[in-house]
Amino acid sequence: MSAVLPKHIPVVREASPGLWALAWRRLRADRVGMVSLAVVVAFLAMMLASYAGLIAKDWNKERGVSYANPAFLAGAENLEAKEVTNKDFGTQAKPVDLSDIDPLAPRYKEWEERAAKIAVTEVKRAETLPFGGDKWGRDVLEKAIKGSEVSIFVGLTAALFATIIGTVLGALAGYWGGRVNDFLEWFYNIFTSIPYILLILAFAAVFKKGLDTIIVILALTGWTGIYRLVRAEYIKHCGREYVKAAQAIGASHFSRMFVHILPNASHVILVQLSQHVVQFIKAEVILSFLGLGVPVDMVSWGTMLAEAQNELVIGKWWQLVAAGASMAFLVTAFSMLTDSLRDALDPKLK
């Protein structure tokens, strides 16, 4: 049997579905799953569109009066819109003259001339906005869209990192066992013996504030569950005969860990990933409430809810509803998709 043999390349290549293809087929048959998937994809598309600046680009523009009414409540009285600035306070007095001590005095003239040329444009603020306005008169609908960008981004990246940490550590512990396992279990025990919320707070207290920090905190505290499952998965698969067979044919440790076992544990990892996205989107809200979150020139569902905290009492429910409902909608869809994924990906159900 050597190279002299005529080249004999494949006969008919029948379409042969792999497990992923089969999983996709099963998912396709699941109506709830498909609807959820559509919703999730729609949200992702919305997020990308907003990121690309196609929609909600001007979310930060103050289009309306403070707490502008939603369009369907056009007539309602809006006390908040009347901005009392007390601007006239002290105007009876003559402005104090600084020219004798002012380091800028030499250029007063130039300054005044330039100032005179700059036109003052008065913006007309709308009384109503499609779904109402926030404190600054920004459209809450646009805010909710723009907020999805940060919330989903935080959820996705943090979940991705947590999954990577959990998967790598879990794979190491489950595959190698022994000392490696002992060490990683020790590490795991440390993280799990501190109640989760305390752990988050402890991390949050010491890190600088910002979007990246939220992601880091969530990833650093959220990997434990994934680690545990992946480890169990690896222990299970290490005992499986196909892995023994791979060892028997001389496949390297790396190959066994990542080429052989990883794809077979991937359904577990994928389901965990999607579960953690949901969990982290919810966690972002809490962290934002504690002020540990998103920078001021960005908006997330969490910051919206934190703002909306006092708005219900003054009758301005729309920001609470806009952020709460968008989040609930996405998270519900995502959770249902996770359930469907779990069913579809589970090779047992074949």
Partner 1 sequence: MAAYVIRRLWQMIPTLAGVILLIFFLFNWVGGDPAQVLAGKISNPEQIANIRKQLGVDQPYWYQLWVFVQQVFTFDFGRSWSTNEEVSKILLTRVGPTLTIMVPVLVIETMLAVAFAIMVAYVRGSLTDRTIMVICTTAMSISFLVYIIFAQWLFGFKLGWFPVQGWSESFSRNLLTYAPLPVMLAIFVGLAPQLRLYRSFFLEEINQDYVRTARAKGLPEKQVMMKHVLRNALIPILTNIGIYLPGLFVGSFLLEVFFSIPGLGREIVTAVNRSDFPVIKAVTVYLAMLTMFINLLVDVMYKLVDPRVSFK
Partner 2 sequence: MHLAVTLLAVAFLAAPAAQASAAVEKKVLRMAFRTAEAGFDPQRIDDRYSVGVCENLFEPLLTYDYLARPVRLVPLVAEAIPEPQEGGTRYTLRIRPGILFADDPVFKGAKRELVAADVEYAIKRFRDPKNRSPYGWIFEHKLVGLDELADAAAKSGRFDYEAKIAGLEVRDRYIISFKLVEPDYNFLYLLAMPNVVPVAREVIEAYGADTHAHPVGTGPYVLKEWVRRSKIVLEKNPNHRGYEIDARWADPADEWDRRALDSLRGKRLPLIDRVEIYPIEDEQPRFLAFLNKEHDLLDETPFSFIHQVLPNGRLSPGLQALGVSAYREEQPEFTYDVFNMNDKVEGRENPVGGYTPERVALRRAMILGHDRDREIGVLRKGQAIPAQSPVPPGVVGYDPAFRASAQDYDPPRAKALLDTFGYVDRDGDGWREQPDGRPLMIEYKYNAGSQESRQLAELWSKSMADVGIRLEAVAVQFVDLLKDKKVGKFVVAGSAWIADYPDAQNFLQLLYGPNSGTSNEAHFRLDAYDRLYLRSASLPDGPERNAVYRELNRLLLAWAPWRLGVHRIFNHLQYPWVKGYKKHPILYTNFKYLDLDVAARAAASR
Partner 3 sequence: MTTSEHLLQVQDLRVSFRVDKHNTFEAVKGISFDVPKNRTIALVGESGSGKSVSAMAILGLLPDNARIPAASRVLYGGEDLLKAAPQRLQAIRGKDISVIFQEPMTSLNPVFPVGEQIGETLRLHMGMSAKQAATRAVDLLAEVGIPNPALRVRSFPHELSGGQQQRVMIAMAIACEPKLLIADEPTTALDVTIQKQILELIAGLQEKHHMSVLFITHDLGVVGEIANHVVVMQNGVVQEQATVREIFESPQHPYTKALLECRPRLDRRPKRLPVIDDFLKGTGAPRMEEQPRGLKEGDAVILEVKNLGKTFFLKEGLFGKRAVPAVKDVSFKLAKGKTLGLVGESGSGKTTVGLTLMRLHDATSGEVLFEGKNLLALSDREMMAYRRRIQIIFQNPYASLNPRFTIGNVLTEPMKIHGIGANAEERVEMAFQLLKRVGLPEASYYKYPHEFSGGQRQRIAIARCLTMKPDVLICDESVSALDVSVQAQVLNLLQDLQEEFHLSYIFISHDLAVVKYISDQVMVMNQGEIVEIANSDEIYLDPKQEYTRKLLSSIPKGWDAARAA
Tell me how far apart the alpha carbons of residues 338 and 151 are, in angstroms, rounded to a whole number. Answer: 18
For helices 19-29 and 31-51, the axis angle rounded to 10 degrees is 100
Sole binder of partner 3 in the list 63, 260, 316, 342 (CB under 8 A): 260
Among the listed ranges 51-59, 86-94, 165-173, 188-196, the one in contact with partner 1 (CB under 8 A) is: 188-196
CB 304 within 8 A of CB 140: yes
- State whether residue 129 is helix, strand or coil: strand
**CA neighbor of 242 nearest in space, from 251, 232, 254, 230:** 251
Which residues, at least 6 apart from 216, have a Cβ–Cβ distance to it below 8 Å? 161, 203, 207
Rule CB under 8 A: say whether 69 interacts with partner 2: no
Tell me how far apart the alpha carbons of residues 150 and 98 are, in angstroms, rounded to a whole number. Answer: 47
Total residues contacting partner 3 by CB under 8 A comes to 36
Rule CB under 8 A: say whether 197 interacts with partner 1: yes
Rule CB under 8 A: say whether 10 interacts with partner 3: yes
Query: 229 touches which of partner 1, partner 2, partner 3, none (CB within 5 to 8 A by kind)?
Result: none
Rule CB under 8 A: say whether 189 interacts with partner 1: yes
**CA neighbor of 331 nearest in space, from 130, 159, 213, 162:** 159
Write out the two tokens for 11.
């006969």
- Window 263 to 282, contacts with partner 1 (CB under 8 A): 278, 282
Q: One-letter amino acid identity for 179?
A: R
Beta carbon nearer to partner 3, 6 or 106: 6
Residue 297-336 contact track with partner 2, rule CB under 8 A, x = bound? x-----x--xx-xxxxxxx---------------------
Rule CB under 8 A: say whether 247 interacts with partner 1: no
Rule CB under 8 A: say whether 244 interacts with partner 3: yes
Smallest distance from the beta carbon of 308 to partner 2, in angstroms? Answer: 11
Tell me how far apart the alpha carbons of residues 321 and 323 are, in angstroms, rounded to a whole number. Answer: 6
Which residues, at least 6 apart from 172, have a Cβ–Cβ distance to it below 8 Å? 180, 184
Rule CB under 8 A: say whether 58 interacts with partner 2: no
Rule CB under 8 A: say whether 9 interacts with partner 2: no
Query: 120 touches which of partner 1, partner 3, partner 2, none (CB within 5 to 8 A by kind)?
Result: partner 2
Beta carbon nearer to partner 2, 198 or 314: 314
Handedness of CA 142, 297, 125, 135 (dihedral sign): positive
- Window 210 to 269, contacts with partner 2 (CB under 8 A): 210
Which positions lie near partner 1, rule CB under 8 A? 186-187, 189-198, 201-207, 278, 282, 285-286, 289-290, 301, 305-306, 308-309, 312-313, 320, 324, 327-332, 335-336, 339
